[in-house]
Amino acid sequence: MLQRLGCNAVIFQVRAEGDAFYQSSLEPWSKYLTGKQGVAPDSPWDPLGFVIDECHARGMEVHAWVNPYRGAGNADAYLAPTHPARRYPELFIRYGKLLYMDPGNPQSVRYINSIVKDIVERYDVDALHFDDYFYPYPKDGLEFDDEESFSRYGLPTGYRPEQKAEWRRENVNRLIYTVRQTILETKPWVRFGVSPFGIYRNESSSRLGSRTNGLQAYDDLNADILHWAKEGWIDYVIPQVYWNIGHQVADYEELTHWWDRHIPHKKTQLYIGQNVTRTMDGDQLASKLALSRQHSQGNSWWSGEDLVRNYKGVGDSLIARYQSYRALLPEYRGALGKTKTPAAISLILEDTNEDGHMLLWDDYREPNEPASAFYYAVYAFPEGVRPDISNPSYLVSISTNPYYILPSMPQGSTYQFLVTAINRFWQESRPASIKINF
């Protein structure tokens, strides 16, 4: 369904609160799968593996969404014996009803890093994704009690008590940098992205800030997204610009312009996080997408459930107008630099068998060779139309399959089909061509 809606990537949550939506020897199965933490699905089923297979077969990426620090939404709820808070209670801090991994303890970084390495090493994910949860969202009158960590790790390294916020930001910086290095050492073609809270700083806090007056990722969550982008530690950023145009505290138009001005686009790709329900309730889909298309490389929709259930006709609008055609992802150079485009397909054959009338070609894919073919794109041009693969209206298929089953066409019609190979960096080969008479 998401493919039909024009989406080309899925950000799939694999770790919500020290748990796993995949087969893990490190953490327990999530209660959101079976109703009780640590209880496996009835059959030997791996949700992450399933999502990867199904998405890749449809030419869609899978980004493994990890919440790094949150341990439990309810600190008094049952925790399985393999939950990290049961195994390493010294790494966790209670904050109201929440149980939170202590970002100031170096062991927390090592532990989270081990989770990331396990996922990237064992699964063919296209990216590793963190959301907006770094230090916890502030609660009135409640202080996050990390004084012990600050005394042990902050004061001895030169931070003064009035510099605790700087120390906290450096703790998150260290996590982002370490995760980045782990991905590079494991599978350097896997991207690292973050979807932070939509306000970096207000102009009342910094001359760099936006004309907003809300909670701030930098000051309140200790997340210095601009630093990560400028250092090249993240490959893409999806600020959660979940407010509407004209919002008095956080105006969508102001924030979309702000992120476009401040993200270094040569190092970090910018996508805009869209809130489906607020957008449709405010009847702002058209105006928001006009802004995001001008100031970013695409959109990320929260939530996928709202798209699938066609909330107030959002799905119909995407299919009919805004995401009518399949789209390749923007080219990504990444840590490996500018790679060569994959080799062009040398020969396309026409065949008819029990599966139908189809096009066939040699499979050029090589496991763990990110510059080689991974996807194949098929374009169909009616006779008389000049072939142009930059026009997405003629893109009929993106898949990992080295074949394409031809649809029924009017008898007597002629089409020219072009097939290209696409690597993990979304670099496209020269097209191979075949003419089919129906």
pLDDT tens digit sequence for 331-353: 987 666 567 889 999 888 888 88
DSSP string covering 247-290:
-SSS-HHHHHHHHHHHS-TTTSEE-EEEEHHHHHHTT-HHHHHH
User: For residue 293, what is the enclosing H or E element?
Assistant: helix 285-295
Q: Is the pLDDT of residue 153 over 90?
A: yes
- Residue 86 DSSP SS3: helix
Q: Is the pLDDT of residue 233 over 80?
A: yes
How far apart, in whole angstroms, are the C-alpha atoms of residue 177 and residue 136?
Answer: 20
User: For residue 109, what is the enclosing H or E element?
Assistant: helix 106-122
Average pLDDT over residues 219-228: 98
For residue 186, name the pLDDT band (cuts at 50, 70, 90).
very high
- What are the strands, taking DSSP E only, across 24-169? 61-66, 70-72, 92-95, 98-101, 127-130
- In percent, the amount of the chain with pLDDT more than 90 equals 89
Per the DSSP assignment, residues forming a β-bridge with 92 are 101
User: What distances in angstroms separate CA 410 from CA 136, 407, 419, 435, 436, one per listed residue?
Assistant: 60, 10, 22, 15, 12
pLDDT tens-digit profile of 17-32? 999 999 999 999 999 9
Per-residue pLDDT at 364: 85
Per-residue pLDDT at 338: 64
How far apart, in whole angstroms, are the C-alpha atoms of residue 348 and residue 419?
Answer: 8
pLDDT tens-digit profile of 64-106? 999 999 999 999 999 999 999 999 999 999 999 999 999 999 9
pLDDT tens-digit profile of 344-396? 998 888 888 877 799 999 998 888 888 899 999 999 999 999 999 999 999 99
Average pLDDT of the chain?
95
Per-residue pLDDT at 3: 92
pTM of the entire predicted model: 0.95
Domains of the chain: 9-322 (3.20.20.80), 348-437 (2.60.40.10)
How far apart, in whole angstroms, are the C-alpha atoms of residue 126 and residue 112?
Answer: 19
- In percent, the amount of the chain with pLDDT more than 70 equals 99
Average pLDDT over residues 309-313: 98
Per-residue pLDDT at 339: 72
